[in-house]
Structures are given as C-alpha cells and as structure tokens.
Amino acid sequence: MKRLHLERLANPQLLALAAVLLINWILFPNFFRITWQDGRLFGSAIDVLNRGAPVAILAIGMTGVIATKGVDLSVGAIMAVCGAVAATMVVAGYPTPIAVIAALGVGVVCGLWNGFLVAVLDIQPIIATLVLMVAGRGIAQLITEGYIVTFNDPTLIFIGTGSLLGFPMAAVIALVLMILVTLVVKRTAIGLFIQAIGVNRSAASLAGINSRMLLMLVYGLSGFCAAIAGILVAADIRGADANNSGLWLELDAILAVVIGGTSLLGGKFSIPLAVVGAIIIQAMNTGILVSGFRPEFNLIVKAGMIILILMLQSPLVGSAIGFFRRDDKRVVSK
C-alpha cells in the first residue's frame, strides 16, 4: 500500500527542494549569486552544499540501515570518535593518510559492532545503537582527554575546507560517495537483498539471503559514512570537539532519509533522494539564517516538516483499506 502511495506522490522531494530554494530566493534575492574567488565558487547556494555535506554523507549510510527496518542512533557519537582519532593521531605525528585510514577503520569497527548486536545478538536496532550513542561521546573524550584537539595539518584541513574544480571538497566527497554507493546497491543484487530484509527478515533468510552478513555490511557502511562525516567536521573547524561534533546529527540524518521517501517500515529506499533530503534541511537552515530569523526557529520548522511528512504518508490521506493494511504493518515494525 505504502509503495503505491509514494509512487503517487511522484518525487515530491525535488518539488520540496525547489519550494525551499524559491522561498530562500524571495527572502534573500542574492541567494543564487555565485562568485568565483581564489579559485573556488562562493555564494549561499554553494554554502548549502558545503554545510549539508556531513548530514548528506550520514544519510547515505542511514538509508541502508533504515531500509532494513533498522535505525542507527550512534552516527553522531561515531563522528565524534573518528574526528577525535584523526585529530589526535595527526597531532601525535602520524602521517595524515594513516590517521585518516585509522579513523575510517574505527568508524567501520563501530558500525560492525552495531551490526553484530543487531544481526547476531538479535537486539532491536534502536537499542543496540543506543549503547554506542551513550558510550561513544565518552570514548571520544577519552581519546581527546577532554580537550578540543586542534591541528594544523594542511592535508587534513584541505579535506575539510579545500575545493576541487571550484566546488567545496566536502560536497565533492558526498557526491562521489553517493554515486559509488548508489551504483553498488543498484547495479548488484545487494539493493534487492536489503529490501528483502526490510520487508521480512525471516522470509529473506529462508529464501537464502545471508541476512546476518548483509546487516553487518549495512551497519558497517553507516559507521564508515559517519567516520567520513566526522573527519570532515573535525577538518572544517581544525579541531576535534568530542562534546559537540555531530551532536544530534543522527536525528538530522534520519529526518533526511525520511524526507527522501525511505519508509521507516523498511523495504523502500532511495539513496539520492535521501541526499536531496539532507540538502533540503540545510537549505532551510541557511534560509532561516540569511533571512534574519533566530536559529532556534530551525527546530520548530523541522518539527513542522516531520508533521507534514507524516500527514502526507498517513493512511488517513490514503484509503480506508490502506488503514487496516498499515495497521498490520505497524505491529510488525514496532
């Protein structure tokens, strides 16, 4: 029922993005003015891409997790841990590539840990990832010993603030990652397997899908994406802040995925649309800032957005038959 319903909405994400950009443009006529300066592009629209990149990257990993009817609450904490690892290693004198690889490795290990809890110990995803969400920031602080570790490593700073062909590095990384993951998922059977697990894990296992392996993979990818986002955020401010890096970004990432039309009940997902969702969120943030409203309005606008999406997807808008069908589904997805 859900699938039918979303198809009827026919890609509302791009329409929503257009609407948000239009509002931004009306409020702030210079929104789309892009200038070329010091070998890179400048402008509010570019800024949206740059600032939206971390959430977009998180959303790529989160899409896979949510498609298996899970959720990963720990990505914000993993960001903090990986940022801390990269920063402390660079400061300790390790070469940058090794520090980055180590941070990415730590992210994957964190993700696999979540995957182990979900796939092997069969723990509800929301709770399994809660463990790392609670403990992760403590671990990050342990690594940085409670300080904000600042660094001056040019390569690492380039990853966070540099530019490629005029576009901000963070946005380029997000784009490349999105294309790679989408290709892997769509050109192989992995996407189909993920959907199968999301619809019915036991049935998928009975049909011969190695669901444990796939769940580990999906959570591992989420951890990997969180690691990239964590490195980007740390490189952007030239320091690893264990307390605030990635704080509440897991919620933004989930929101981006939901805006992107991925069903929280599993089974239907789209990685590019989740990235569009992340850009919509960032365009709203930037819009609120440039139009002079206080940033606190952000939270209320986000809440309004979730409510709107829920209304659009709700069975009340659909048919009465849909009501009872969905009733059954909700039970399963509890």
Interaction of residue 320 with another protein, rule CB under 8 A: no
- Options 199-207, 224-232, 284-292, 319-327: segment touching another protein (CB under 8 A): 319-327
Which listed residue (22, 183, 307, 321) binds another protein by CB under 8 A?
307
Least distance to another protein from the beta carbon of 265, Å? 8
What is d(CA 234, CA 236) in angstroms, rounded to the nearest whole number? 5
Which listed residue (138, 179, 213, 244) binds another protein by CB under 8 A?
138
Tokens of 113: 């840990």
Least distance to another protein from the beta carbon of 310, Å? 5
Interaction of residue 71 with another protein, rule CB under 8 A: yes
Least distance to another protein from the beta carbon of 146, Å? 6
238 within 8 A of 42, measured Cβ to Cβ: no
Virtual torsion, Cα 231, 237, 242, 245, nearest 10 deg: -70
Interaction of residue 327 with another protein, rule CB under 8 A: yes
248 within 8 A of 256, measured Cβ to Cβ: no
Least distance to another protein from the beta carbon of 53, Å? 22
- Options 99-107, 165-173, 185-193, 304-312: segment touching another protein (CB under 8 A): 304-312
Q: Please name the helix (run of DSSP H) or strand (run of DSSP E) that holds residue 150, with its range, or none.
A: strand 149-150
Burial class from Cβ neighbours inside 10 Å (0-12, 13-18, 19+) for residue 62 reads buried
Least distance to another protein from the beta carbon of 41, Å? 32
Q: Which of residues 203-242 bind another protein (CB under 8 A)?
A: 242
What is d(CA 65, CA 63) in angstroms, rounded to the nearest whole number? 5
What is d(CA 245, CA 234) in angstroms, rounded to the nearest whole number? 7
Tokens of 267: 């089974």
